[in-house]
Structures are given as structure tokens and as C-alpha cells.
């Protein structure tokens, strides 16, 4: 999958974190955030829909495009219990890594960006449906992700934002590694995505997604790892730094994009803690997921498919990472 670039604007057709109110985090981290949130509400904030909790509810079936099947739930969305099955082989591909920057405030820092899913996943159902061990249980290797009602896939959105984010972080001097760069036929599996960040000894890792909830469900949320200690999973050492990273990303995302926190999950904080995601459970470095918006809501989809807004999304995530790494 190639980088579509800023000019690509297609036509449009669970746990809440206990009492960490986003406004408090914003007051400490980004004083201008509440203003951005207020602007969002004034020009068309979250709808009145009181839809299901995407971290625990059923997902509506997306409308497929002519070139890909309907998308399914994924590791950053609906939790699933599973039993192990036989292990199949994985494609081999080296994650894309930028050259170390000569200078900048993040010189010497390593950031791993994990663009959720892969545009080719739907062509490899047996490989992405096989189960992998995420510590607490077994889960699908990966999924196809969701799409807009017009059929624009989440996997293209995530890779586009990842490229923009990489450019911004490299300008700050960081060494950036992507878990995939459209350079492999499918995947990687969720356990490999975590392993890439671990082996890179990343100072921060962020997995980029967009949600697939019901119409009327709007806004972003950042998923933080819960305290898990089971099997190969032990997140206890990364819970606190990951929470710090996630709060800083959420605050800057509001300020830069003007988007409000999710109106259907997270209790209005924009922060959700989960213990069922392999990409978090198996991480040994500070890591969060961000669901940048809901692709199945027409208003959110209009933002997600806008190149200008995706640049703002990347900027908000970048500024959150920079704030975290600089302390």
C-alpha cells in the first residue's frame, strides 16, 4: 500500500479509567485543550447517540468496498475469548526503520509506530485467523479492520497517519520504526507487533487505529494497558508510564484536532484501560493504542478521510509523544 499523501480526500457517502477526568489532565498538560474541545462542540460535537460500549459490545457489519470483504472486529476493539489452534507460518519482513537523526530534542530516542491491520489481510484469512498467545488467552493473529460506509479501509487510514507521524518525529530527532509499512502481504500478528517494539527497546510505542462502532458514536479514545501478569504477559512495569504517555497524547489530540473524547466509551475521559489486547499485554515498553474516530459515523468519517485532518491527528499524537519523552 502506497502513501496516499495529503491531497487524498475521498468522497463521503472497558473499562473507563477510574475518575481520571481528561479535563484535569489537559489543565496540567495542555492549557489550550479545553478551548479546542469547545470549538469542536460549537461546530458539531458528539451526537446524542448512546450506542454500545465498543470495548465490550457487538460490532455492526461494515459495508464492504468492491475490492475487499466486510471488515471484522480487531485486537483494538471487541474482546474475544478463544482457544488455541495449530500455528501457521508468518511472512518475513523487516520493519521499516528511519536512519538516526543527526540532531534534535529527541536524538537517541526510539519510537515504534504500529499502523493497525494491513490492506492485504482479507486475502489471507487462514493466516490472520490463526490463534496466537497473548498471555491471558489466545486470540486471532490479526483482522481486516473496519472501513467507512463508502468502503475506505482502516488499514489505509492507519498507514497514512503513521507516515505523517514518522515524518514529524524524525524532524524532532527520533529514530522511528514501523511494525509494517505496506511491505508484507498480511499482518504482522499482534504478538509480533508487540515484539517489534520490545526488540527495538522503544522509548514509546503507539498503535494507530480507527473504530467501527454505530452511527452517532463519535470521538477518539486512547487505550491504556491494564496490570496483567499471566503466562508470557507482564505489563506491571509499563502501566504507569503508558498511562502518562496516553494522557499526554489524549490532551494534545484534543488541542490540535479539536476532536472531543469518545461519547460512547471512556466516560468522557478519552481514556480506556484494557487487559485483553495482545499488542499491550505482550509489550515491555510504554505503549498505547489510539482509536482516532469512528469510521462508521458519517461526521467522523468526513474527518478521517480528510488529508488535512489526518495531518492534525498525526501532529496531536506527535506532540503527545514528544511531551512524554521530554518529561
Domains and CATH numbers, the chain: 22-44+62-77+94-326 (3.40.630.40)
For residue 67, the 8-state DSSP code is T
Query: What residues are paired with 289 via a beta bridge?
Result: 207, 223
The length of the chain is 327
In this predicted structure, the answer to whether residue 21 has a pLDDT above a threshold of 50 is no
Residues belonging to the active site? 291
* 106 in Cβ contact with 204 (< 8 Å): no
Q: pLDDT tens digit string along 193-242?
A: 999 999 999 999 999 999 999 999 999 999 999 999 999 999 999 999 99
| Phi and psi at residue 24, to the nearest 5° | -65, -45
Longest dimension (CA), the chain: 53
How far is residue 233's CA from residue 212's CA, in Å, rounded to a whole number?
A: 27
Q: Is the model more confident about 66 or about 247?
A: 247
pTM of structure: 0.75
Q: pLDDT tens digit string along 136-185?
A: 999 999 999 999 999 999 999 999 999 999 999 999 999 999 999 999 99
Query: What residues are paired with 56 via a beta bridge?
Result: none
Beta-carbon contacts of 141 under 8 Å, excluding residues fewer than 6 positions away, are 90, 127, 128, 129, 130, 131, 132, 187, 189, 190
Q: pLDDT tens digit string along 89-99?
A: 344 455 666 66
In this predicted structure, the answer to whether residue 131 has a pLDDT above a threshold of 70 is yes
Burial readout 163-180 (b: 16 or more C-beta within 10 A, e: otherwise): bbbbebbbebbbbbbbbb
Amino acid at each position: 500500500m502506497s502513501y496516499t499523501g495529503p491531497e487524498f480526500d475521498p468522497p463521503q457517502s472497558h473499562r473507563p479509567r477510574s475518575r481520571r477526568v481528561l479535563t484535569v489532565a489537559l489543565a496540567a498538560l495542555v492549557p489550550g485543550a479545553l478551548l479546542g474541545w469547545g470549538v469542536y462542540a460549537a461546530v458539531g460535537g458528539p451526537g446524542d447517540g448512546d450506542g454500545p460500549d465498543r470495548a465490550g459490545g457487538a460490532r455492526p457489519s461494515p459495508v464492504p468496498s468492491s475490492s475487499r470483504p466486510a471488515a471484522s472486529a480487531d485486537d483494538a476493539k471487541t474482546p474475544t475469548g478463544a482457544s488455541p489452534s495449530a500455528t501457521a507460518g508468518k511472512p518475513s519482513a523487516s520493519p521499516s526503520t528511519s536512519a538516526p537523526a543527526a540532531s534534535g530534542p529527541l536524538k537517541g530516542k526510539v519510537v515504534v509506530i504500529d499502523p493497525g491491520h494491513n490492506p492485504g489481510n482479507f486475502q489471507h484469512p487462514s493466516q490472520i485467523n490463526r490463534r496466537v498467545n497473548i498471555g491471558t488467552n489466545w486470540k486471532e493473529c490479526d483482522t481486516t479492520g473496519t472501513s467507512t460506509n463508502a468502503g475506505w479501509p482502516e488499514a489505509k487510514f492507519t498507514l497514512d497517519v503513521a507516515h505523517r507521524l514518522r515524518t514529524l518525529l524524525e524532524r524532532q530527532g527520533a529514530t522511528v520504526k514501523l511494525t509494517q509499512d505496506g511491505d508484507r502481504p498480511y499482518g504482522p500478528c499482534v504478538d509480533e507487533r508487540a515484539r517489534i517494539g520490545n526488540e527495538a527497546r522503544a522509548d514509546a510505542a503507539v498503535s494507530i487505529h480507527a473504530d467501527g462502532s454505530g452511527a452517532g458514536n463519535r470521538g477518539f479514545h486512547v487505550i491504556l494497558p491494564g496490570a496483567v501478569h499471566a503466562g508470557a504477559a507482564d505489563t506491571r512495569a509499563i502501566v504507569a508510564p503508558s498511562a502518562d504517555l496516553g494522557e499526554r497524547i489524549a490532551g494534545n489530540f484534543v488541542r490540535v484536532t479539536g476532536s472531543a473524547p469518545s461519547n460512547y466509551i471512556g466516560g468522557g475521559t478519552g481514556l480506556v484501560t484494557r487487559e485483553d489486547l495482545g499488542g499491550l499485554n505482550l509489550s515491555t515498553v510504554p505503549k498505547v493504542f489510539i482509536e482516532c474516530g469512528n469510521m462508521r459515523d458519517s461526521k467522523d468519517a468526513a474527518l478521517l478521510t480528510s488529508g488535512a485532518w489526518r495531518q492534525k491527528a498525526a501532529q496531536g499524537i506527535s506532540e503527545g509523544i514528544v511531551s512524554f519523552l521530554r518529561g
